[in-house]
Amino acid sequence: MINPSGYEKSGDNRPMGTVDADTIVAISTAQAPAGIGIVRLSGPEAFSLADRAFQAYSGRAFSPSDQRKLRYGHIVDGGSVLDEVLCVYMKAPHTYTAEDIVEVNCHGGRVSVQKVLSLFLRMGARMAEPGEFTRRAFLNGRIDLAQAEAVEDIIRAKTGLAQESAVHQLTGGVSKKINGLKEDLLHLLAHVEYAINFMEDAMEDLPREPMEEEARALINRMNQALSGAETGRLIREGIKTVIVGRPNVGKSSLLNALLEDDRAIVTDIPGTTRDAIEESFQVEGLRLRLIDTAGIRETDDLVESMGVDRSLALMEEADLVLVIVDGSQALQKEDREILEKIGSRLHLILVNKVDLALSSDAQDLIKGEGSSGPVLAISAMTGQGVAELETALSDLFFEGEDGREGADFLSNIRQIDLLEKSRDSLSSALRGLEIGVSLDALDVDLQDAYQDLAAITGESIEEDVLNKIFQDFCVGK
Ligand code: GDP
């Protein structure tokens, strides 16, 4: 049997003492027929629990030098063998949670892992809450909050691009930018704090002009980050897309043409609260989530299901609107109404049925007359122009390859909201500098701006916010 005595002091290396001292356990892999399934333990008792349950095939006792090596044996409950496993021991603090960890590689499927899990529960481990392993990694100071969020984003990524962006965030891409902003903000704050504490005629003693310049430069950087963030969010969450147009212009034909070109149609299974049933497909790494495909596919009452009012309502909800008109016909009142109402919403106008003789309205549209946005000539039936449409879609979100790199930045709403708030407080501080408000007012604005930045990486964060973030995680992560 294993001799865990070498690990008695493992908890001493923890960077912060804010984590519950209990040992948690969960099944960390999906429970479906598969080669292996992993049960993970983390906490001060991880080694001793595993030690009691694991019998090495060689009969050789576990020694500290075995850590991070897979050992072969059985998980045994009393006299009976629950499963044949490979077991790995990892000592704090250089582990996922920064605590002692044991991972038991069982056979996959539901039963083996559940038997092993329930044995550890009976032995005194506690069932991990959703995201608790990652939460511990955060509370123990191994990763910051933006990195913790990235873990969940990697798991839930539905496209290569979304996963790439999340991996970049996990390796600290976002944190580095935020920390850079924080440092510069501290520099501004230091002037104000110094004047408050050590100067006589406070406001006069501030180097106001250089400070205003610094503040403007910082606001610019924040704005740049925010515009990239919107693309980041769309990459991460998918782009809510609606196809609008009068009956019979070719909406469902276009949908089919797009789906045919990319067979990766996904109908999400509503396994968690985050996923709703919807259809989506990928274009150049972007995921287009189609709103109301039912409305498009319903054929019996098209006027009702895709009337102009309904189109306008759907446009409100969408990140991206594809407007289709029938190129073989003159524009009708409804077409014009939709084209007028589209306004500044992100959209593409598609003149369909270009395999037929085009109406003069359609020809004008294609020449760029009478519309505000990009117009493409397509035939949903022959597939003409569909490839160009896909390129145009990608160009809406990225300006060339460089644009894709910029999209590595912030991606979730929580982070974006905080950065916006921080920018607004800083703008208010800038106005204060310009008109000469009291030092205290300036101090409050700059402090607010700093606190919001700090909350992005979780440097200062309320317990209930933390709970909200981790409650969306999967169990075992
Ligand atoms: P929806 O009501 O807007 O979804 O329109 P549909 O996709 O059902 O198309 C209506 C009719 O137009 C069908 O008979 C299609 O075959 C036809 N159609 C759609 N796209 C094209 C096209 O590009 N060229 C031609 N010639 N016919 C098309």
Q: What confidence tens digit (pLDDT) does each residue in 122-180 have?
A: 999 999 999 999 999 999 999 999 999 999 888 888 888 888 888 888 888 888 889 99
Asked whether the predicted pLDDT for residue 262 surpasses 60, the reply is no
Mean pLDDT is lowest, of 150-154, 192-196, 275-279, 291-295, for: 275-279
Q: How far does residue 388's CA lie from ligand 1's centre (Å)? A: 19
Atom of ligand 1 nearest to the CA of 352: 23
Would the pLDDT of 297 be above 70?
Answer: no
pLDDT at res. 405: 52
Give the torsion sign (CA, 204, 207, 211, 212): positive
Least confident of 14-18, 20-24, 143-147, 284-288: 14-18
pLDDT of residue 303 exceeding 50, the answer is no
For 66-70, 113-117, 235-239, 462-466, which range has the lowest pLDDT when averaged over its residues? Answer: 462-466
Which helix (H) or strand (E) element contains residue 456? helix 439-456
Would you tell me the crossing angle of helices 160-170 and 173-198 to the nearest 10 degrees?
40
Higher-pLDDT residue of 219, 369: 219
pLDDT at residue 459 tops 90: no
Q: How far is the CA of 340 from the centre of ligand 1 (A)?
A: 23
Contact 355, 328 (CB under 8 A): no
What's the pLDDT score for residue 116? Answer: 97
Give pLDDT, residue 409. 65
The most confident of 248-257, 279-288, 347-356, 371-380, by mean pLDDT: 347-356
Residue in the structure block whose two tokens are 């035939």: 379
pLDDT at 275 over 50: no
Tokens of 398: 């990225």
Look at residue 401 and tell me whether its pLDDT is greater than 70.
no
Rounded distance between C-alpha atoms, residue 318 and residue 56, angstroms: 57
Confidence of residue 399 (pLDDT cuts 50, 70, 90): low
Residues linked to residue 126 through DSSP beta bridges, in sequence order: 24
Q: Tell me what percent of the residues of the chain surpass a pLDDT of 90.
A: 46
pLDDT attached to residue 129:
93
* Model confidence pTM above 0.75: no
Residue 226 has pLDDT above 70, yes or no: yes
Buried b (16+ CB within 10 A) or exposed e, 413-438: ebbbebbebbbbbbbbbbebbeeebe
* Confidence band for 308, pLDDT divided at 50, 70 and 90: low
Residue 19 has pLDDT above 70, yes or no: no
In this predicted model, what pLDDT tens digit does every residue of 71-107 receive, in sequence order? 999 999 998 999 999 999 999 999 999 999 999 999 9
Q: How far apart are alpha carbons 386 and 381 in whole angstroms?
A: 10
Burial class (CB in 10 A: 0-12, 13-18, 19+), 259: middle
Q: Is pLDDT of 31 > 50?
A: yes
The pLDDT tens digits of the residues spanning 408-457 come to 567 788 999 999 999 999 999 999 999 988 889 999 999 999 999 999 99
Mutate to test the pocket of ligand 1, among 246, 248, 251, 253 (most ligand atoms within 8 A of CB): 253
- Please check the confidence at residue 35 and state whether its pLDDT lies above 70: yes
Contact 242, 321 (CB under 8 A): yes
Q: What number does the ligand 1 atom closest to the CA of 299 have?
A: 2
How far is the centre of ligand 1, averaged over its atoms, from the C-alpha of 258 (Å)? 14
Q: Mean pLDDT score of the chain, rounded to an integer?
A: 83
The residue whose CA has the least distance to atom 10 of ligand 1 is: 248
- Hey, CA dihedral for 324, 327, 328, 330, is it positive or negative? positive
Residues in contact with ligand 1 by the CB-under-6-Å rule are 245, 247-253, 296, 302, 352-353, 355-356, 379-381
pLDDT at 360 over 50: yes
User: What does the pLDDT average to over 51-56?
Assistant: 93
Q: What is the pLDDT of residue 290?
A: 83
Please tell me the distance from the alpha carbon of residue 174 to that of residue 180, in angstroms, as a whole number.
10
